[in-house]
Structure 1
Amino acid sequence: MERRTEFAIKMDRIRAYLKKAKADGVALGRSDHFAWAACGAANYVNMATDGGAAVFLLIDDKAVVITNRIEKQRLLDEEIRSLPIEVDAIAWQDDQAKHAIKTHIGNKKVLSDNGFAGLPPLGDGFTQLMMELTEAEVRRYRSLGGRAGRALQSACRDIRQNMTEREISGMIAYRCYDAGITPIVVLVAADDRIVKYRHPLPTSKSAKKMVMAVLCGRRGGLIASCTRMVSFGTPTQEIVDKHAACVMVDVNFNANTMPGRRVGDVFTLAQNAYRMAGFSQEWDLHHQGGPTGYRTRYYTATQHSDDIVIPNSAYAWNPSITGTKSEDTLLVLEDHNELITQAPDWPQMEVECEHMCIERPDILVM
């Protein structure tokens, strides 16, 4: 019943969007759009592409999923079960998808997210429909956040000196799959690669002194992001000071991301926090994150971002200062914020900002 209620809310949002766009329907083939519209359903087989093996059609009051016969039964049994959606399965060996879509569309004006069958584009405004989470999505996000945080931290606690970055990334991936999470981004850097690269794809390099581990994990379409730092023995005072400064910026981001605030103003406050910490140019060396949900980031925020923070939305800020980084996923609710990937069993440091005292992950010393 909860899933059908969520589905009804989303269909109402789409219809309101279509009314403004003077259109009759949508065709959603992107995996993020499909997952949102179908309440967490996965239409993809290859997770290395934005597209999927099924298209969600909403025309007037009718919802249809067009797929091939290979995917039909799995979609019915495991993805869209309990939802009021018809399934139109076509032969896999024939290029019938365009014909099937046009048959359902007729003379209606239908917008597409991937230009399929020559349909007009959906438009950037569709993303706004996805950013406001339903009550059911908030609950699912909390569950995902807890699972993702525990998976990453559990793997990090099992890191040992001389493990390669690839071995560490394998442990993270294993913990994720074991928790029902798909690890769509796993970054691991050891020692000097932490300083050199903000997006360190895992290599055969062995960890001697420090490790930075980054995870973006997906479950039910939603994505949670988090980063943890590990040190073998006491880290240098330089790293300790940099991490404390980075956490201060992170707390500034999270404390100021409140309903009604302009996203660009939140960003500017964080820029000031970088400056006050003595690292005024570090923000320019890596993006700082932004709103999240069914994508790792809907966009990367800047001081020019004019969107207004809304209740029941999610953000993943990821400030970094060369050699360290601080990142978790934030739920912004009507009257408070929740850092949902911040799991127990990790050293914390307390930082005060905006009359709040916020705990953030410190460096784990092994």
Structure 2
Amino acid sequence: MLLEEFRNRVESLRELIAARNARALLLSKCCNFSWFTFGGRSHITLNSTEGEASILVTGDRLYMITNNIEKQRIQEIELDESLLGEFGFLEYSWFEPSGERRLVEGLVKGKLLSDTGRYSGEHVDITPMRTLLSQSEIDTYRILGRECDEIFSAIVPTLKSEMTELEVQGLLYEAMAKRDIEPLLVLVFSEDSSLRYRHNLSRDVKLGKRGFASICARRRGLIVSCSRSFMFEAADDVLRQHQQNCYVDAVAIGSSRPGVKLSEAFGRLIEAYEKVGRAGEWKFHHQGGIAGYLPREVHANLRSDVHLREGNAVAWNPTIRGTKSEDTVLIGIEQNSILSFPEESTWSALEFEVNDEVVRRPAPLLIG
């Protein structure tokens, strides 16, 4: 199945090359490398946007172009065995500053498309292709989402109010590493930080009475974003606000259906804020959007001119000062699936009815 999906992907890129009257397409962005190879990694550092290998697609050949440091790793680790024979491997020395360019220009005589615009290539954006997930990608995403939920469910009940944000961040790092998950982002919010910052870079501050944690977790290129909240002392006002926050999230999730414009779903999210008496809170933090090989492939706003499709994933993250709700959701033809908060989760849920469907959101965990 993977080889068939891969060859379909190749054909779609060749159709793009023909439509733009070009001779070849060079993919150099890490997200596109992972998408094209169904999870291969061309990066070295986790924050890389352009990798150490590029893929050249021509009308009749595929080339993997990389330096002598990375070639063996890519062949032995990053590519599924069924895909190895699809590529011709081209290598240049790491100390040759224009090695990749020399190889590309030796192969391409005519117009070049490029996802970075390098080598005077005409820039091309393949986000619409990259965000429409195949069955193999969906399977990977489901497993990753479930494991993120399991990590939160295992770690959060063990937290203590005197722990610092940095200590909790370390626990989440360790848990993800043990499962071969790349921690692109781990933000831990103490009570103090949750009231100060919408994006808190974890600090040496004690958790206090409550808080929440957010992660962006990557495996095989796909990224799950999710958050969980906790309390050491019950507080009715905080619970009420969390429910309001979750209602906004549930409306956004329930509104993310095939054929709906992303801007329309965003508009319904704004209306949900207004309904719970929190008008204007959306202006203080981005609200999420389409997810996949980037934490957000397309950010949602009132001008987002993108129609959602079956096979897209979304990750909304509405916030109210002090609270947050976030999970990664697969858009299905009949109903959506919350990948990082599956039905079998042991974490307690709040339920909201949206468009005649029940949307489950994680409740705050009372510890102690």
TM-score w.r.t. structure 2 length? 0.95
Q: 1:272: how far off?
A: 0.7
Conserved 8 A contact 1:189-1:200: yes
Q: 1:336: how far off?
A: 1.4
Conserved 8 A contact 1:156-1:213: no
**CA–CA separation in structure 2 for the residues paired with 1:313 and 1:292:** 8
* SS of aligned partner of 1:82: helix
Gaps of 5+ in 1: none
Q: 1:157: how far off?
A: 2.2
Gaps of 5+ in 2: none
Which residue pairs with 1:97 in the alignment?
Answer: 100
Q: 1:169: how far off?
A: 0.7
Which residue pairs with 2:15 in the alignment?
Answer: 16
**CA–CA separation in structure 2 for the residues paired with 1:19 and 1:157:** 55
Alignment of 1:220-235 (within 5 A): 220-234=220-234
* SS of aligned partner of 2:350: strand
Q: 1:221: how far off?
A: 0.6
**1:60-109 alpha-carbon deviations (Å, 9 max, x no partner):** 1211111111111110011123211121111112221211121122x132
Q: 1:258: how far off?
A: 0.5
User: Percent same amino acid among aligned pairs?
Assistant: 30
Q: 1:237: how far off?
A: 2.1
**CA–CA separation in structure 1 for the residues paired with 2:20 and 2:149:** 40
RMSD: 1.2
Q: 1:115: how far off?
A: 2.7
**CA–CA separation in structure 2 for the residues paired with 1:351 and 1:40:** 35
- Opposite residue 152 of structure 1, the aligned amino acid is F
**CA–CA separation in structure 1 for the residues paired with 2:24 and 2:47:** 28
**CA–CA separation in structure 2 for the residues paired with 1:9 and 1:200:** 42
TM-score w.r.t. structure 1 length? 0.96
* SS of aligned partner of 1:67: strand
- 1:111 has 2:113 as partner: yes
* SS of aligned partner of 1:341: coil
Conserved 8 A contact 1:348-1:359: yes
Which residue pairs with 2:240 in the alignment?
Answer: 241
Alignment of 1:241-320 (within 5 A): 241-320=240-319
- Opposite residue 82 of structure 1, the aligned amino acid is S
- 1:7 has 2:6 as partner: yes
**CA–CA separation in structure 1 for the residues paired with 2:2 and 2:78:** 11
Which residue pairs with 2:358 in the alignment?
Answer: 357
- Opposite residue 257 of structure 1, the aligned amino acid is S
Q: 1:46: how far off?
A: 1.3
- Opposite residue 157 of structure 1, the aligned amino acid is P
Conserved 8 A contact 2:192-2:208: no
Q: 1:154: how far off?
A: 2.1
**CA–CA separation in structure 2 for the residues paired with 1:159 and 1:89:** 49
Q: 1:151: how far off?
A: 1.8
**CA–CA separation in structure 2 for the residues paired with 1:87 and 1:277:** 57
Alignment of 1:190-209 (within 5 A): 190-209=190-209
- 1:70 has 2:73 as partner: no
**CA–CA separation in structure 1 for the residues paired with 2:283 and 2:205:** 27
Aligned residues: 361
* SS of aligned partner of 2:17: helix
